Chain A
Amino acid sequence: MNRIAAILALVMLSLHGMAADWQAHWKKATGYYIQKQYDSAAWYYEQVAALHPHNAEVYYNLGNTYYRLNKIAPAVLNYERALHVDPGHRDAHDNLTITQARISHQVAPAEDIFFVTWWRGLTAHTMAGTWAAVALIAFLMALGIYWARRYTQGGGRLPMQLPGILGFVSACAIIFGLVAAANSVNPRKAVVFEQDTPLMNAQQIKGKPAALLPEGTTVRIITDGGNWLEVALPDNRTGWVQASQVMKV
């Protein structure tokens, strides 16, 4: 833990030069926003957001600014980022819904099958810490019980299967935790930035697009193929879009 603290301290030090700046930027941006000079506000908020802080408010404010500028796609992108940092951010959630309502020909989200929903819930990036703890506790318990059974007088009475069950629980928790951790590092979401982005059936521009995606649509990234991304639409249709036409959350 000391090492992590040291790394954090280093990062903080390197950012220290900007630290003063970001507060100034933030104040200016907020001032411009109040004066309805949204262009300038967006620029200053972007300066803060460029530091990639783990503060949902930065993205939330930026999203609001873009909404005021009638730029749907950047607004959606920033709300998605805010929600990624803080999934419980109620305001960001509401504003995202309002913004998405302004997308013309919005792709209606489809209901997922229950176990897909379960899986999503279990591997949500917020669960990463929980799973890490569960996995570790189950593992330690399994070790403890094994030891007790082998080497203590009263331990023999503990059920024989218990360490195995706990080990299995721990392994599952590790898998969930790793997926959730991967989700937290890479949200695997993207927002369509160009109006009528063609959704192709293959990684080529030729042919008839399967659909035209309106600007501001949030898509899930299935495969990241460099110039092309395989994405799933909110209604679970899949296809390929050019990476240049979307922005990853």
Chain B
Amino acid sequence: MWRCCFVLLLLTGSCYMVYAQNVVFTAVAGATKMGIRDQVNVQYTIRDAQDLRTVTNPSDADFVIVGGPYQSQSSNTSISGNRVVTSQALTLTYTLQPRREGTFTIPPIVAKDGAGHSYQSNSVTIQVVAGSLAQQRPQQRGGFDPFSDGDDDITAMMRQMQQMQQMHMQQLQQRAQAARGQQPQQQPQAQADADPPVNDAEIKKDLFIKVTADKSKVRLGEQVTISYKLYSRVPMQVSISKLPTLNGFWAQDFDIPKQAKPTEEVVNGKKFQVFLLKKSALFPTQAGTLELDPAEAKGMARVVQQVRRKMSDLFDPFGAGTLMMDDPYFNNTYYNTMVYKDVPVHLQSAPVKIEVAPLPDKNKPESFSGAVGNFSITGKIDKRTLTTDDVATYTLDINGNGNLKLIEAPRPTLPNGLTTYDPVIIDTITGRSTTISGSKIVTYVITPQTPGDYTIPPVTLSYFDPQTGSYTTVQTNEVKLQVKPGKNYMSRKPDNNVSSYKDIHDILKQTPPELTFDSGPIMHKPGYWSLYVLPMALLAGYVVWRRRDEELSRDTVALRKKRANKVAFQRLATTRTLLQQKDKKPFYEEISKAIWLYLSDKLSIPLSALSRETATEAMNSRKVPDDVQKRLEHVITECETSLYASGGLRTMNDTYEDAVKVISDLEDIFKA
């Protein structure tokens, strides 16, 4: 069992990376003695620590950390027997500058790994003396290792070993990359550190641009003069690289001489040469607080500098500030000399705020269209008389100083018969001394369409005078214009009937006999609608009356039936007694007689002329329904046949009933 495990361990171990477990944490200072103006690199190397979490920074009680930590990692892989031993090292480099002279010990720094172990480096002691020792150092250095700054023997050996490793090249690249990456942020610092006089702030005390506005509070449209001035106490060559974007303004530049002669000005007790770069008149186009963003200038300034060369700086990959001092002259000089140095400068002015107040609403004339300043207006027309074939040019000339360009061109109100198109507007700026003055010439081309005498009314222009703080209105004189019909004049009259008339029909001169007044349309009168309502009501009344009448007559039907029955009973009164006596023969005779008598009476046919045929004909003309006639015939036929045939009592009774019914029906029909 043990064996198996061991074999397994061996097998796996053959390809198992074994990390050296003894963690070493060392601190190495680049120099043990340094000048107060020098910088020193301190390298902390932690070897074979795994899963490193935190590393504290060196105490900055005596030193200022001016750079770092710059990290670099290295690993060393060696094979001993069947084991691959990998050793890793993490190097943190700090660039320190002493705060004061003396001998200082930089206390150890502490690194902690993920497992909770903490490792401590050794402390480093550095002696700081007055002045700078930088120039002595290159001589002390071996110079064969350009990437290390004054390592001790151990680290030097370590580095040599590292160089033999496969990852050597990668290392170099990494470091170079790191150095390059840090270069931009490090540069100004390095520059300032290496050459304290060439300090941005220092330069900017001697060389700056200033934007000044003559007023900080203006009215909308009021002129503000801003000047861009370059103040300088050092020789320089600077040009403006970026002008403020003048959002919210209409700007007009003043003329300034090309080769500006500097003036002298004393600022903070120092005499400056002042160059006027640019001068503009600004006319705010919106109210509120407007900010002129900074103007920027770029160029070179020549700075007098005391130079003390440090060879090491050249090779310090992190002190990239040395890049600008690659003049061999400096490299070989170890003396303090006064040297002119060209330093690139980037100047920026402070932003200027201008408060723009809106124009007062009080007394604002209707014709006000944004003019602020002091103006006059004249109107001219090139012809006084013209034909409809010609065109006239009406010119408005607005003259004065102020925000000329922002004035909306006034428009003459032309009388009917004259038309014009959009004007041609020419702005001319003539004066650029202290205020912007000039003229705005608005040209309208007027085309007359109808002959006649016209008057172009005065054109008014209102402006706000910031001097007096009030509105002023000026106007042109009115212009009279006579238009005669031209050769091509055709009066535009769409109606053919009218084209023959040049003029309107005359008025009706006689006084109308009386004024009439419209009493409104007939349909809006109740009288009209009553003509609908009345017949409607009449008809409705008639209908109602008729219906009632019908109802009444329906009641009389019953009455009539009764009466008809009565008649039938009267006619058949004798037959009834015969029926009771059951006397057959006289009964049928009597019935037959009664019916014929009744028909003769009702149909107004004498008995002698009465036959079945005549009776039927008469009954047809009286619209006696067929069934009644049939029944009648049936009764008559029965009477005739029963006279001779034997029949029972029941038949006599039936015949009697039938006869009664038929007579009463006939009676009903004849009475209706």
Contacts and interface: CB of A to CB of B under 8 A. Distances in A.
A215 interface: yes
B81 interface: no
Interface string A46-70: 0010011111011011001101001
Interface stretch (A100-108, A111-119, A199-207, A236-244): A100-108
A110 interface: no
A104 B416 contact: yes
B240 interface: no
Contacts of B542: 147, 151
Contacts of B495: 94, 97
A2 B207 CA distance: 107
B525 interface: yes
B508 A61 contact: yes
Contacts of B525: 4
Nearest to A127: B521
B589 to A, nearest CB: 44
A194 B662 CA distance: 97
Interface in A18-38: 19, 22-23, 26-27, 30, 33-34
B449 A104 contact: yes
B580 interface: no
Interface string B468-491: 000000000000000000000001
Interface in A128-183: 128-129, 131-132, 136, 139-140, 143, 146-147, 150-151, 174, 177-178, 180-181
A26 B494 contact: no
Nearest to B521: A181
B492 interface: yes
B536 A143 contact: yes
Contacts of B505: 64, 91, 94-95
A102 B417 contact: yes
A212 interface: no
A195 B457 CA distance: 14
A23 B519 contact: no
A208 interface: no
Interface string B506-518: 1111011011111
Contacts of B413: 195
Contact of A57 (B504, B512, B523): B512
A180 B491 CA distance: 36
B528 interface: yes
Contacts of B543: 150
B521 A132 contact: yes
B508 A128 contact: no
A197 interface: no
A55 B126 CA distance: 121
Contacts of B520: 181, 184-185
Given A94-B504, A104-B449, A136 B498 contact: no
B419 interface: yes
**A interface, by DSSP: helix, strand, loop or mixed?**
helix
Contacts, number: 137
Contact of B416 (A70, A147, A178): A70
A85 to B, nearest CB: 8
A65 B507 CA distance: 8
A178 to B, nearest CB: 6
A101 B494 contact: yes
Contacts of B535: 139-140, 143
A72 interface: yes
Given A98-B501, A101-B492, A139-B532, A60 B507 contact: yes
A23 B513 CA distance: 9
Given A53-B515, A97-B494, A178 B504 contact: no
A215 B511 CA distance: 31
A51 B515 CA distance: 9
Given A97-B494, A147-B542, A215-B416, A52 B508 contact: no
A198 B366 CA distance: 18
A22 B522 contact: no
A24 B151 CA distance: 127
B183 interface: no
B539 A146 contact: yes
A180 B512 CA distance: 27
Contact of B518 (A33, A54, A103, A174): A54
Contacts of B416: 70, 72, 102-104, 215-216
Nearest to B447: A104
A143 B533 CA distance: 11
15 contacts: A8-B519, A27-B511, A54-B515, A55-B512, A64-B506, A94-B501, A101-B492, A102-B416, A128-B521, A146-B539, A150-B543, A174-B523, A177-B521, A180-B521, A181-B520
Interface of A: 1, 3-4, 7-8, 11-12, 15, 19, 22-23, 26-27, 30, 33-34, 48, 51-55, 57-58, 60-61, 64-65, 67, 70, 72, 85, 91, 94-95, 97-99, 101-105, 125, 128-129, 131-132, 136, 139-140, 143, 146-147, 150-151, 174, 177-178, 180-181, 184-185, 195, 215-216
Closest 3 CB pairs of A and B: A181-B521, A53-B515, A54-B518
Given A61-B508, A95-B505, 12 more contacts: A4-B525, A19-B514, A55-B512, A70-B415, A70-B416, A72-B416, A94-B498, A94-B501, A101-B491, A139-B535, A146-B539, A185-B524
